[in-house]
Structure formats: structure tokens, C-alpha cells
Amino acid sequence: MSYWGIYFNGMKKIKIIGLVGLVGLMGLSGSVKAQSDDRGFEIAKNLEIFSNVYKQLNLNYVDDVDPGKTIKVAIDAMLSSLDPYTNYFPESQMEDVKLQLLGQYGGVGALIMQRGDSIFVSEPYRGLPADEAGLKAGDRIVAVDGQSTHGKTTADVSSAMRGQAGTDVVLTLEREGKQFDRTLTRREIHLPNVPYYGMVGPDHDFGYIKLDEFTTDAAKHVREAFVELKKNNPAMRGVVLDLRGNGGGLMNEAVDIVNIWVPRGTSVVETKGKVASKNIKSYTRLAPEDTEIPLAVLIDGASASASEIVSGSLQDLDRAVVVGQRSYGKGLVQNILPMPYNSQMKVTVSKYYIPSGRCIQAIDYSHRDDQGRALKVPDSLKTAFKTKSGRTVYDGFGIEPDIEVEPEYMSNIAVALTQKFLIFDYATQYYRTHKEIAPAADFEVSDALYDDFCRYLREKKLTYSTVTERVIKDLREVAGQEKYDSAIEQQLQAMEAALEREKEGDLQKHRSEISDMLKAEILVRYYYDQGRIEGVLKSDPVLRRALEELKVND
């Protein structure tokens, strides 16, 4: 019997061609023989064990076993033991692959979110089918093509809404208690990798470019944005490239973005993996746009992969100042490999090294603790490297910014307002009762607007707990177990009363933070994502610090 001959219902023999192909690719024969190649023998042996486990499950398990689902679970478990980036995609998930790699998919162009058992539109993209059909943030999606969404996840509903471009999908929506249908024609949705660029600073003399993803043509769009800013603002004193929250993407796009500000022929990144013939050194290949203008790159803990190639190489070349928080630390490169039956697999094939010679990979997936968790690269194994001008930088823990700006953490009340969708719902209500607002760059949350929001919260009877309250609750439980509760109960009640009085002032104490959140949510209703980005830049502490540094070095 072939290793991958599996009897279904004890009757029908079906050969799993894809897995036979896998064995063939490994250079193994159809039967297990005594071989000098111990590794090949171990692979063949374990593949045979796996096939027999599945055969016995299929013959003996009390319920029917779904072959597609079961094998997918097995593949996912196998790949998860390697690293989070090596993934298998069946044909049904090809739209997700297109979204990851190309920033495009067949769909209607709307973000959705789950609230309890219901799915809501959180944001339609400007000019795409959902927007053109009149969908608004806050609309509840009742059904997709007649199929109820009750109890479904966002992944379920998103999958139902996506499909071949040119096909129709009927959404049943609910707005302010009234249901209605909208027929949308799916389109190839191209998400903008540069959602906003413009001039920033008190005197509007610095350029700003926000890059969300390193999808196809990301470098082209960043270059076009920079050229336009420079052309329309000849007195521009510097430029800021914002890579915060950017999880990466295509490596060649990263190299071409660096090329905008460094000369042709500059080494940007080198990949090294198991197959030496596939190792690549990537150099800039085009004439740069500007090699002198002061440049700052913004990063945070969610800036990864291609974002780290751009920020790290510009840092290594001493071409830009990096501002923000330490980046994620993903120095791994993936390739997409075709698989049988229109499936694909994304495989980690190498690590990348930036100009100083360092690899910024922060997690060692080849070594794990007793619980199977991958280990961080220890400080003892970190190595010092030198930038082009001789500054010291280190490998093994992401990109360390030249200027660190402490992250701002949300207050307890801000977390509660977000989790309970109170800011979202107020913005929805505000949009329905206000036909227009000031331009995005000028809109501010006025005293009257903030007071109205506070009244809205009183009507909603906002409640939330603080860490201190949870500590007091835990202390009361422990005191009860140790028989100290009666001795300290009076003091605990006094602390709780004092905290409650303090919480009454939280809306004013955290007014600046909450106003920024309100502003962002209202702006997106009128001016989409572009307006939200433009509106919140004035109060962005990381951008402000970057501009201060650019002015010093101007």
C-alpha cells in the first residue's frame, strides 16, 4: 500500500496525490527501505505513521471524520510548531492571500466588527461599493444573501461578503430600527498603502507620509507622494515617514522605498537561508529623489518585517533619525509556494540582514521552553554592530529608535468607552444629526460637544472598574480567608468611597485623551480614514518629537 493510500469506510481506496508529491519532492521512494540517509528514513517513517493514524481514525472513530478539516488542522498544528509565519492556505482562503500580498481582494470595501451576536459596519472605504451603496458606520448587517449573520463571527461574514469581482451580494441592513436591502456589485478592492500625505508642523513646512502596508506599488506611491510634496512645497525642510502599526509585506517594496532617499547601488538588505543559491543581496536600482533632505522614520512595537528593513537600513546608513518605540523584531523572510488543488503555502526560507550586518529577529523559534513557547534572543547573545558613521547598534531585538518616546497607555475610562462602543455610538449619533463639520485639519472637540458627550454617558449609565478597585476586591477576599476581614473592612470601604469620588472626575481628568478619541471617530464619519489621520496629527507626541529633531538638524 502507498503511504498515502487511505481506505474510506473500509471500502474505497483514495490516493492523496498532494502528499505523494511531497514525499517525491523529498527524494523518497514509494516504500521504506534501509537507507544510509537517516533523515530521509525518519521522514518516510513518520509520514507512514501519520497516514495510518488517519486511516484508523476514519475506520474506527465513532463519528464521521471530515478529511479536509482534519488534515487542515494537522497541517496547521505542524506548521505552528515552526513559526507563526509559515502557513498553509487552502483554495477557500485565496482571497486572504491576495489581501496580504497585494492589498486587494474581491469584495465590497468595508470594515466590519462584532458586538455580541451581531455584526456591524465599522467603516466603509471611500468610493468603493459599500460607500457608493450608502452603507454607514453603525449599520447592523442582518443578513448576507438571505443568510442570517446572528451569532456569526466577523471572519464568517467577511468571507460571505467577499467573492469574484463582478458578482452581486445582497446585504440586509438595519439602521435606527429600520431594515432595508442593498445590492452591491463586488469589485477588486485595492486598499491604499499610502492613506494620507501632507504638510505638518506649526508652519506646515515638513512633509508627512503615512504608509500602512508594503503591498504591490507601495514604493511607487511613497515616491509619488514625496515628489508631489517637494514640488508643491519648495521650502519643505524635512520629511517624516510614518511606519507605526505597519506589519510589513513585500521586501522589494522596502528596498525601493529606501532608494527614494539613498543613492543607486546601495546595499539595503541581504537574505541568508538553507539553500545558498537562493540567498539574495538587494541593492537600490534607481536614481534617488533626494539624498540630503532631513528624514525621520516613526516606528512602534507593531512595526515589523519590511518596516524594520526600511527603518533599520536608513538608520544603519545614517540617513534618517528613527523615532518612537522599539519595533517588533521580525527578521524572517517568507516565500509563497504553489500547492496542489489551488492551495498555497507561505514558508519561512531565510533571515534578512541590514547594512550594518545585523539581523533584528527577536524570537528564536528553533528553541523553546518546557511549555513549547519560543524564546527571546537573550541579551548575552546580542552583538554590537556599527552604522556607516560608526554609531553602535545591536541585533536580536528589533530596531531600537534613536529617540525613544514612551508609549501612551489608555486610561481605565478610555478602555471602558472603547469596549462598550460608547464613543463609536456617540459618533454615529452625531453624524446623523450634523450634516457637516469643519475640515479635518480644523475640526476640534468643542466644550459644547464634550459636555454633550458627558450627558450622553450619564444617560447610558457608564460603569467601569479600575485596577485599584480590583486589587481592593482581591484584598477583601484574601482577608476573609485569613480572618482579617472584620478588622480592615472599614478601611476598605473608605478606600472604595474615595475611589468612587475620584472616578466621578475621570471625564475631566482624562478630557484630552477622550477628546482625541472622539475627534478621530467623528472625523472618519465625514472624511474617512484620510481625514482621521490628518485630524489627529496635531496632537501626536511622536510626530511632535520627530519634528523637533528635524528642526535641530535642519
Distance (Å) of CA 4 to CA 20, 31, 69, 338, 423:
6, 11, 17, 20, 55
333 within 8 A of 271, measured Cβ to Cβ: yes
CB atoms within 10 A of CB 94: 15
- Please enumerate in sequence order all residues whose Cβ is within 8 A of that of 172, keeping only pairs 6 or more positions apart, or say none: 141, 142, 143, 144, 146, 179, 180, 181
Question: Phi then psi for 392, rounded to 5 degrees?
Answer: -90, 130
Told to judge if 330 belongs to the known catalytic residues of this protein, a careful annotator would answer: yes
Residue 463, SS3 per DSSP: coil
- Please enumerate in sequence order all residues whose Cβ is within 8 A of that of 206, keeping only pairs 6 or more positions apart, or say none: 199, 200, 236, 237, 238, 239, 240, 547, 550
Length of the chain: 554
CA dihedral 66, 145, 178, 525 (to 10 degrees): 90
Told to judge if 267 belongs to the known catalytic residues of this protein, a careful annotator would answer: no
Distance (Å) of CA 310 to CA 256, 258, 407, 479:
9, 6, 21, 54
DSSP string for 70-126: HHHHHHHHHHHTT-TT-EEE-GGGHHHHHHHHHSEEEE--EEEEEETTEEEEEEEPT
Told to judge if 305 belongs to the known catalytic residues of this protein, a careful annotator would answer: yes
Q: Which residue is catalytic, options 122, 158, 303, 305?
A: 305
Question: Residue 213: which of 55, 99, 50 has the closest Cα?
Answer: 99
The DSSP code for 537 is G
346 within 8 A of 250, measured Cβ to Cβ: no
Question: Residue 465: which of 390, 413, 395 has the closest Cα?
Answer: 413
Rounded to whole angstroms, the Cα distance separating 152 from 161 reads 13
Question: Phi then psi for 310, rounded to 5 degrees?
Answer: -65, -55
Distance (Å) of CA 51 to CA 60, 105, 436, 517, 541:
14, 36, 64, 54, 57
Three cell numbers at 391?
554609531
Q: Rounded to a whole number, what is the distance in angstroms from the first to the last CA of the chain?
A: 74
Rounded to whole angstroms, the Cα distance separating 421 from 476 reads 31
Residue 415, SS3 per DSSP: helix
Q: Which residue is catalytic, options 242, 256, 316, 395?
A: 316
443 within 8 A of 518, measured Cβ to Cβ: no
DSSP string for 258-316: HTTTS-TT-EEEEEEESSGGG-EEEE--S--S-SSS-EEEEE-TT--THHHHHHHHHHH
187 within 8 A of 167, measured Cβ to Cβ: no
Q: Which residue is catalytic, options 210, 330, 346, 503?
A: 330
Question: Residue 530: which of 155, 131, 112, 143 has the closest Cα?
Answer: 131
Which positions are catalytic?
A: 305, 316, 330
